[in-house]
Chain A
């Protein structure tokens, strides 16, 4: 005879185990990177150029390059993503075309990042002749995070109750006025959250920038958007695999800075979301 209490206990054990297995790697990554990387962090490491074939000095150009790339990606992806989301959620009617568009967005999110890299190389670097540059890299990253921004914005817009739209329209407001004054203001927290998550993704990816912008080593900072730039994820790859005898401290220090950048962005997204959730009044 089966003992239901024992079955219950076994099930509980495995459920708990699986849950712990998720937490453990996250915790380990953070602990190891902090433990090995934190000693490398000082003002010089953050603000100096790399020296002695990247075996000493700092990672300032890689930090600057990543910030440029992320900013460029967002300047490109946020307006387009937001406008597309507004169209899809507020204007489009359910038909074959919109179903195709939505399918395309879902699939865009599933494309491997290295494919984006090749695509950026073919389109921006070669076809548009932007060369390997911040512009090409930003556009490539921008396309990669478009689905994240569109999906998050659409969800945010659609979560605004339709009764608000009806009230606004019933007071004689036009459709655009309704979107501009009622729907958008109430969707902004969700849109911001999605945007910042997209930023974090763009900051951390290596493959899309590999062929489109990333420089192995540059003795100076980029001067324009047509210059190549160093970037944190690629720099980490280079000093970990391409340059011999790099001190472990520098490698983990770089990883620490990258991780901190991404985690801080995600943290900001979470703070914004909770703050506005509390203010939400319906």
Chain B
């Protein structure tokens, strides 16, 4: 099933043309890895999907981003962002307790019942593979967790809102290899229920977890194909050069 359909997307920040004529489809229950050197428009692309780019005063776009055949520009941003969760590059806990971090999104939807909140928080922390480590210290500040735990907390926090899509923006860039492996395991497990778009600077990570891989260069989508094809027989010479490490 097609989750996102993007047609002729152009994005500008003031005079900077960040995304150029990108058209693609994103299938549900798949992990799409987006790779490319820095400043290639990967993160902008991700933040245009959940309309976080709108926050920039100089943001302009043309083209259409449809989610399940509905133009995202026509939807109200809060509803859209409830359906599209996001995990950021650095672990960014809110300055609240572990419990309140996970409960935040649900609370903002108006849920006040303590028991409902507790159930949903536990469920989300289980899914984020963090429950066993934090179940006895839910009221502690989230900043007391280690970096890897914080990132899994951020994943749990995103899951608690029960989105349909999760955007990962270089989620492992600040993590050690073991924490990275845990986050990658979580992603592979999550794709059963969610559609995942993963922006990564780590080409090997894209090869490990992505069902499909998109290669961005200078704001253009160079190539989008099954991950095994991209990494064994890419169509475009530039893709080949990037994944083989000739530039980046």
The answer to whether A171 and B57 have CB atoms under 8 Å apart is no
Which residues of chain B are within 8 angstroms of A99 by Cβ–Cβ distance? Answer: none
Which B149-194 residues have C-beta < 8 A from chain A?
Answer: 154, 157-158, 161
Choose among A167, A168, A181, A182 the residue with the greatest number of B CB atoms under 10 Å from its CB.
Answer: A167
| B143 contact from A167, A182, A281, Cβ within 8 A | A281
The answer to whether A172 and B88 have CB atoms under 8 Å apart is no
The verdict on A270 contacting chain B, using a C-beta distance below 8 Å, is: no
The answer to whether B108 and A173 have CB atoms under 8 Å apart is yes
CB distance from B201 to the nearest CB of A (A): 19
| CA A174 to CA B81, docked complex, whole Å | 10
Cβ contacts B133-148/A at 8 Å (1 or 0 each)? 0000000010100000
Which residues of chain B are within 8 angstroms of A163 by Cβ–Cβ distance? Answer: 88, 90, 92
The answer to whether A169 and B55 have CB atoms under 8 Å apart is yes
The answer to whether B157 and A171 have CB atoms under 8 Å apart is yes
The answer to whether A170 and B95 have CB atoms under 8 Å apart is no
Which residues of chain A are within 8 angstroms of B157 by Cβ–Cβ distance? Answer: 171
CB distance from A98 to the nearest CB of B (A): 11
| A170 contact from B57, B85, B143, Cβ within 8 A | B85
The chain A residue with its CB closest to the CB of B158 is: A171
Which A259-282 residues have C-beta < 8 A from chain B?
Answer: 281-282
| CA A171 to CA B52, docked complex, whole Å | 11
The answer to whether A172 and B57 have CB atoms under 8 Å apart is no
The verdict on A248 contacting chain B, using a C-beta distance below 8 Å, is: no
The answer to whether B88 and A173 have CB atoms under 8 Å apart is no
CB distance from B81 to the nearest CB of A (A): 5
- Sorting the interface of chain B by its residue count into under 10, 10 to 19, 20 to 34 or 35 or more gives 20 to 34
Which residues of chain B are within 8 angstroms of A167 by Cβ–Cβ distance? Answer: 88, 92, 94, 154
Which residues of chain B are within 8 angstroms of A94 by Cβ–Cβ distance? Answer: 57
Cβ contacts A79-104/B at 8 Å (1 or 0 each)? 00000000000000110000000000
The chain B residue with its CB closest to the CB of A161 is: B92
| B105 contact from A166, A171, A281, Cβ within 8 A | A171
Cβ contacts B69-85/A at 8 Å (1 or 0 each)? 00000000111011001
| CA A131 to CA B157, docked complex, whole Å | 58
Choose among B94, B141, B143 the residue with the greatest number of A CB atoms under 10 Å from its CB.
Answer: B94
The verdict on A186 contacting chain B, using a C-beta distance below 8 Å, is: yes
Number of A-B contacts (CB under 8 A): 64
Cβ contacts A161-198/B at 8 Å (1 or 0 each)? 00111111111111001000110001000000000000
| CA A168 to CA B96, docked complex, whole Å | 12
The answer to whether A172 and B94 have CB atoms under 8 Å apart is no
The answer to whether B81 and A172 have CB atoms under 8 Å apart is yes
Which residues of chain A are within 8 angstroms of B158 by Cβ–Cβ distance? Answer: 170-171
The answer to whether A172 and B55 have CB atoms under 8 Å apart is no
The verdict on B109 contacting chain A, using a C-beta distance below 8 Å, is: yes
The verdict on B86 contacting chain A, using a C-beta distance below 8 Å, is: yes
The verdict on B104 contacting chain A, using a C-beta distance below 8 Å, is: yes
The chain A residue with its CB closest to the CB of B108 is: A173
Choose among B52, B105, B108 the residue with the greatest number of A CB atoms under 10 Å from its CB.
Answer: B108
Q: Given the known A-B contacts A163-B92, A177-B108, A281-B95, are A169 and B57 also in contact in the complex, defined by CB atoms under 8 Å? A: no
| A166 contact from B55, B57, B77, B82, Cβ within 8 A | B55
Choose among B77, B92, B109, B154 the residue with the greatest number of A CB atoms under 10 Å from its CB.
Answer: B92
The answer to whether A171 and B143 have CB atoms under 8 Å apart is no
Which residues of chain B are within 8 angstroms of A164 by Cβ–Cβ distance? Answer: 92, 94-95
| A172 contact from B90, B143, B154, B161, Cβ within 8 A | B161
The answer to whether B94 and A166 have CB atoms under 8 Å apart is no
| B104 contact from A93, A165, A166, A173, Cβ within 8 A | A173
Which residues of chain A are within 8 angstroms of B161 by Cβ–Cβ distance? Answer: 171-172
Other contacts beyond A165-B55, A167-B94, A170-B158: 10, CB < 8 A: A94-B57, A168-B94, A169-B77, A170-B88, A171-B108, A171-B158, A172-B81, A172-B82, A177-B108, A182-B94
Top 9 closest A-B pairs, CB basis? A172-B82, A171-B105, A173-B108, A170-B86, A281-B143, A172-B81, A177-B108, A167-B92, A174-B78
Chain B positions near chain A (C-beta within 8 angstroms): 50, 52, 55, 57, 77-79, 81-82, 85-86, 88, 90, 92, 94-95, 104-105, 108-109, 141, 143, 154, 157-158, 161
The 18 sampled A-B contact pairs (Cβ below 8 Å) are A164-B92, A166-B88, A167-B94, A167-B154, A168-B104, A169-B52, A169-B77, A170-B81, A170-B85, A171-B82, A171-B105, A171-B108, A171-B157, A173-B78, A173-B105, A174-B78, A186-B95, A282-B143
